Structure 1
Amino acid sequence: MSRPTAQVLTLLELLQSGGLRTMTELADRLGVDPRTVRRYIDHLIDLDVPVESVRGRHGGYRLAGGYRLPPLMLGDDEAVAVLLGLIAGRGLFAAGAAAETATAKIRRVLPQRLASRLDALLESLAFTAAPAETPAPSSGVLLTISDAVRHHRPVTIRYQGRHRTVHPYGLVAHAGKWYVTALDTGIGEERAFRLDRMADARTLPGTFEPPPDLDPAQRVLDSLASAPYRHEVTLHIRGSVPEIRTRLPASVAIIAEGDPWHRVDIRAESLDWIPRVLASLDLPFTIERPAELRDLVRALADRLTTSADRLTTSAADPFSTSAADPALRLG
């Protein structure tokens, strides 16, 4: 009985993605019955692909560990996704050179037709944002920490010149930086550590139990919002929390929900930006502290009022525009 090549290759891709795949899952993904899946598995085994069968209630199929697949085969959409991901991801790691060489390797193994089309895409592509200038973590540190998170293993790190032992809970990428939420065993407190500030990371023997209901991303945001800065700001804002979050994200402000007023705490090195944010929110607010912020809000209100009252009657005024001038129109 013939076996559709495309289906067999799809099965291989599913197994290649890693982990144990149940018969039910494979049958559903391929749109065939379990007996057909077994025939496809037999075909892969005939091609010397080491597919392992795991028996039992939670059994299924997987590829043998360490198996190296044949040369890369990508469709048009897959090739575009991979190459654009490599280009857009430069600067997220200390792996700029690695991204360059990986892009070149993928480019070399693609069919000429697809390679030429991707060359045209890359040559015509421009990004409005410059690559991230934030120092990036080393791939060794990133992989060590991620493995420790997965297996609940303690890690010793050299962080800003000091050695610490931590229990890493989760990795978080935020605003171009990489963080790990972890328990600093030396002081018995949870912290968010930046990976680019780690000079070394080594796994230690033993395991630990992470706290229940863990949300590493939220803990990083809370840590950023409560970091010590020059000014401590407390506001009361009337409106919905989603409305407030449009201008004051979780990494900037901590919101204690109320009815109908919400308490908003902000830590800031400078107060200059806060009046503009409050104006853009367009929600009722009161300032509990500091008094200096009230003066800044009044000063902004005076400037806006003066600008609104200013008359631009002269055609030579640099702020006046002519609707009849086509050069001033945006299409």
Structure 2
Amino acid sequence: MLETSARLLRLLSLLQTHRDWSGADLADRLGVTARTVRRDVDKLRSLGYPVHAAPGTAGGYRLGAGAQLPPLLLDDDEAVAVAVSLRTAAASGSVEGIAESAIRALTKLEQVLPTRLRHRVLALHSVTVSLRGTNPAAVDPDVLMAVATACREHQRLRFDYRDHNGTPTARITEPHTLVHTGWRWYLIAWDVDRDAWRNFRLDRIAPKTPTGPRFTPRDPPADDLQSYASWSVSTAGFRHQARVRYHAPAAVIAASLGPTSAVIEAVDDGSCLVRTGSNSLDALAIYLSLVGVDFDVLGPPELADRVRELAGRLTRAAPPPAPPAPPAPAPAAAG
């Protein structure tokens, strides 16, 4: 049987898995009686942990949100993950105004990290370089939290939205998933008025309060939500959507284009199909040619026309070199 302090930590760890536990299940996991579980729950409550209890056969214990943030219990991998994430948040600048808060939280965490874990975190940090700069797509943290909460609580989200031209529209959505590309944040949601799935850049969203009523989540727009998110972010939201076939393996093209700039599907061992998008045909033509691999434009036809125009323009910009000068005549032999 676990000692009281160790048992309380074990109970807290179980409750932090975000599921309902019956008293019998907890008693079985801890090797104690249901009465002891009730006493331990009362001790956790006295320490500030909001443990909710529902009576009856369908009831149980669940750790909820309280008025204050109680101490969190993290295992080794979770502590390292939080530390690395805080460093990334402080360096990336993708969320406006969050760097200072992330550094403060990281300082507190590193003070209590065991030596073995601190060495793991510092080792990663010592060999990592972050490229920082002005990020025009930084998201207000209040917007990020409001959208994330609506996704988690399945509440309709109303917001004003600016498209790529700055035109404002009012949207009513059923938010589903947040996507972070490393530079921008996107929301994938069901657009109620348009009766279709859409993706929205978070830096262009101005949420309205209060949020709408709760909704029953729809089936996701694809079985492979990761691939769908890649397609919706890299292709679906743009005016021009390209389909090309590269004469190189998918892994080679993925290393050049990156996972959030295009959807890449292997055709065979030596070629792959790529879908990507842009609001500019010129930008698309240049972007696709920078990979340094031969490719065929499968669509749209206007992109193929623009590639031909660009090829002609580049050819004219670099006229063929002048032919080499003829060799000098050999000197005449002495008579």
Q: TM-score range by the shorter chain?
A: 0.5 to 0.7
Match status 1:99 vs 2:102: yes
- Partner in structure 2 of residue 180 of structure 1: 187
CA RMSD of superposed structures (Å): 4.7
Q: Report the CA distance shift for 1:164/1:220 in structure 2 as closer, same or farther (over 3 A).
A: farther
- In the alignment, what sits opposite 2:203? 196
CA distance in 2, matches of 1:263, 1:123: 35
Counterparts of 1:144 and 1:208, CA distance in 2: 16
Question: Helix, strand or coil for the counterpart of 1:66?
Answer: coil
Give deviations 1:194-253, integer Å, cap 9, x for gaps. 112224443444344554233465444323314446x76443457887776565667444
Say which SS state the counterpart of residue 279 (structure 1) adopts: coil
The one-character-per-residue Cα deviations of 1:128-180 (angstroms, maximum 9, x if unpaired) are 22247433222221222222223433322232373512212322212321111
Instruction: Report deviation, 1:267.
Output: 3.4
Task: Mark the CA change 1:256 to 1:68 in structure 2 (over 3 Å): closer, same or farther.
Answer: closer
Closer, same or farther: CA 187–12 of 1 in aligned 2, 3 Å: closer
Q: Which residue of 2 aligns with 1:89?
A: 89
Change (3 A) 1:203 1:240: farther
Count of aligned pairs: 290
Which of residues 271, 277, 282 in structure 1 aligns to 2:291? 277
Structure 1 Cα separation of the partners of residues 59 and 138 of structure 2: 40
SS in 1 for 2:128: coil
Residue range with higher mean Cα deviation, 14-23 or 165-174: 14-23
SS across alignment from 2:62: strand
8 Å CA contact retained: 2:12, 2:73:
no
Asked if 1 retains the 8 angstrom alpha-carbon contact of 2:254 and 2:264, the reply is no
Question: Against the structure 1 CA distance between its residues 227 and 7, is the aligned structure 2 distance closer, same or farther, given a 3 Å change threshold?
Answer: same
Question: Relative to structure 1, is the Cα distance of residues 38 and 130 closer, same or farther in structure 2, using a 3 angstrom cutoff?
Answer: farther
Question: Conserved in 1, the CA contact under 8 Å of 2:197 and 2:221?
Answer: no
Q: In structure 2, what is the equivalent of residue 154 of structure 1?
A: 156
Residue 99 and residue 60 in structure 1: after superposition, are their counterparts in 2 closer, same or farther (change >3 A)?
A: same
Q: What is aligned with 1:320?
A: none
Moved more, 151-160 or 45-54: 45-54
Deviations 1:53-102 (A, max 9, x none): 43444433224652657556667765544333211222232212221332
Matches within 5 A, 1:188-267: 188-215=195-222, 217-223=226-232, 224-228=234-238, 233-236=242-245, 251-253=260-262, 264-267=274-277
Query: Identity of aligned pairs, percent?
Result: 27
What amino acid is the match of 2:235? A
5+ long unaligned stretches in structure 2 = 315-335
In 2, are the aligned partners of 1:132 and 1:176 still within 8 Å (CA)? Answer: no
Equivalent AA in structure 2 for residue 164 of structure 1: A
Cα separation, 1, equivalents of 2:277 and 2:185: 21
- The answer (yes or no) to whether the contact 1:154–1:203 under 8 Å persists in 2 is no
Partner of 2:59: 59
**CA deviation string 1:268-326 (max 9, x = no partner):** 5142343453628xxxx6444515646988999xxxxxxxxxxxxxxxxxxxxxxxxxx
Change (3 A) 1:103 1:256: closer
Kept in 2, the 8 Å contact 1:177–1:194? The answer is: yes
The separation in 2 between residues aligned to 1:254 and 1:71, in whole angstroms, is 42
Secondary structure of 1:181's match?
strand
Runs of 5+ in structure 1 lacking a partner? 301-331
Query: Residue type of the partner of 2:10?
Result: T
User: What residue is the counterpart of 1:165 in the other structure?
Assistant: 171
Shift of the 169–8 alpha-carbon distance from structure 1 to 2, 3 Å rule, reads closer
Q: Which residue of 2 aligns with 1:141?
A: 143
Change (3 A) 1:76 1:246: closer
Conserved? CA contact 1:136–1:196, under 8 Å: yes
User: 62-71 or 96-105, which moves further after superposition?
Assistant: 62-71
Letter in structure 1 aligned against 2:151: V
Query: 1: CA distance between counterparts of 2:130 and 2:172?
Result: 35
